[in-house]
Amino acid sequence: MGLFDRIKKGLAKTRAALSEKVSAVFKSGRKIDDELLAELEEVLLTGDVGWETTEELLARLKEAAVEDNGRTEPEELLRRVVVQMLGDAGAPVELGVNAQPPCVVLVLGVNGTGKTTTIAKLAHYYRERGKKVMLAAGDTFRAAAIDQLRIWAERTRCQMISSKPGADSAAVIYDAFEAAIHRGMDYLIVDTAGRLHTKSNLMKELEKVARVLKKKREDAPHEVLLVLDATTGQNGLVQAQEFTRAIPITGLVLTKIDGTAKGGILLSIARTLKVPIRFVGFGESLEDIALFDAEQFAAGLLGERKAQSLESL
């Protein structure tokens, strides 16, 4: 199954809930007017696009329709606006393209978002591209987290640095950074705590990790990825805002997009946080992760017509 087909499959629930309703709004011959926009507003809100994002999207669509002056099908104009809004947050690029190896990637997210599985998928993604990858078990607050990461390290054939449960997380990550340098790694992917007994302590721990890494190399960490569970909808946006207060986020990974009918949350997240979506995850296989592509996402989200043109490229 090709990359686009996997994205399309992952978005099947969202597309079934959103695309068919969008197509019904854009009946043959209808023009973009206030009545159509009101109907489209209701459809987008059911896809968890969010109120403010929906209002901005509709305003852009109305403006695009005026400029286009009937040359383009209204539904295609909507796709273009969606792509534009996703692109406003920044184009997705490979991790650490400008970093001196090893690229240190901190992976953040609350427990249950698929954070550890995402780390495994990223490790596999870069191993398949010939890169040397090391994992660091920075979530020392849960013994299960260390054990789970060790299993994934074995499956992806990656080296791993860990310590006993309860060890200082920042110290473990610092040691892993030194080991990654000495062993000539391309990537050091770091698991971080997803839960402490208070939210403020979790954020302080993340700040400490960043400070410790900078003592070794000023530009570290090179990437800070926040993993969000698509099935949580707007709650994921609240989580994201909490994490961005503690440490600058360089990119987002949206997981479980195959398990939700509300994939429109990506639009709301991109618009609100102004942080690029770097990867999307779907399914249980190590291969079920893809570098985010706004064009392909819009096609998978809104229907087949754009998909045909993409596949012909």
Quote the number of domains for the chain: 2
Return the pLDDT at 69: 86
* Chain position carrying tokens 């249980």: 284
Q: Do residue 65 and residue 107 come from a single domain? A: no
The strand pair at 223-229 and 251-255 is best described as: parallel
User: Are residues 244 and 267 part of one domain?
Assistant: yes
SS (H, E, C) the chain: CCHHHHHHHHCHHHHHHHHHHHHHHCCCCCCCCHHHHHHHHHHHHHCCCCHHHHHHHHHHHHHHHHHHCCCCCHHHHHHHHHHHHHHHCCCCCCCCCCCCCCEEEEEECCCCCCHHHHHHHHHHHHHCCCCCEEEEECCCCCHHHHHHHHHHHHHCCCEEECCCCCCCHHHHHHHHHHHHHHCCCCEEEEECCCCCCCHHHHHHHHHHHHHHHHHHCCCCCCEEEEEEEHHHCHHHHHHHHHHHHHCCCCEEEEECHHHCCCCCHHHHHHHHHCCCEEEEECCCCCCCEEECCHHHHHHHHHCHHHHHHHHCC
pLDDT digit string, tens, across residues 185-201: 999 999 998 765 456 68
Determine, yes or no, domain membership for 30.
yes
The domain containing residue 259 runs over which residues?
103-294
Specify the pLDDT at position 97.
77
Tell me: do 211 and 251 sit in the same domain.
Answer: yes
Residue 81 structure tokens: 């606006």
- Assign residue 252 a region (left: φ > 0; alpha: ψ between -120 and 50; beta: otherwise): beta
CATH code assigned at 194: 3.40.50.300
CA 122 – CA 115 distance, rounded (Å): 11
* 117 & 209 share domain: yes
Q: Does any domain span residue 110?
A: yes
User: Could you give the CA distance from residue 90 to residue 269 in angstroms, rounded to a whole number?
Assistant: 12
* CATH number of the domain that residue 52 is part of: 1.20.120.140
CA nearest neighbour of 11 among 62, 82, 87: 82
Q: What is the CA radius of gyration of the chain?
A: 21
Mean pLDDT by 10 residues, the chain (313 residues): 58 64 79 90 82 91 90 88 81 77 94 90 96 96 91 97 93 96 97 71 86 93 90 74 83 78 71 85 85 78 48 30
What's the pLDDT score for residue 309?
34
For position 277, what pLDDT does the model report?
A: 86
- Would 96 be classed as within a structural domain? no
- Examine the domain organization and report whether 212 and 263 are in the same domain: yes
Burial of 52 (0-12, 13-18, 19+ CB in 10 A): exposed
Judge if 73 and 110 occupy the same domain.
no
What does residue 113 show for φ and ψ, rounded to 5 degrees?
-85, -10
Claim to verify: residue 108 and residue 229 sit in the same structural domain: yes
Residue 207 shares a structural domain with residue 127: yes
The 10s digit of each residue's pLDDT in 124-171 is 999 999 999 999 999 998 889 999 999 999 999 999 999 999 899 999
Query: Is the residue at 25 inside a domain?
Result: yes
52, 144: one domain: no
Residue 98 lies in a domain: no
Q: Per the domain annotation, does 172 fall within a domain?
A: yes
Asked whether residue 200 is assigned to any structural domain, the reply reads yes
User: Could you tell me if 245 and 281 lie in one domain?
Assistant: yes
What is the pTM assigned to this prediction? 0.85
Which pLDDT does position 221 carry in this prediction?
A: 94
pLDDT for 125 = 94
The per-residue pLDDT for 313 is 26
Residue 131 lies in a domain: yes
CB atoms within 10 A of CB 286: 18
Residues 130 and 231 occupy one common structural domain: yes
Residues 69 and 140 grouped into a single domain: no
Q: 227 near 256, Cβ under 8 Å?
A: no
Residue 258 CA to residue 262 CA, distance in Å, equals 10
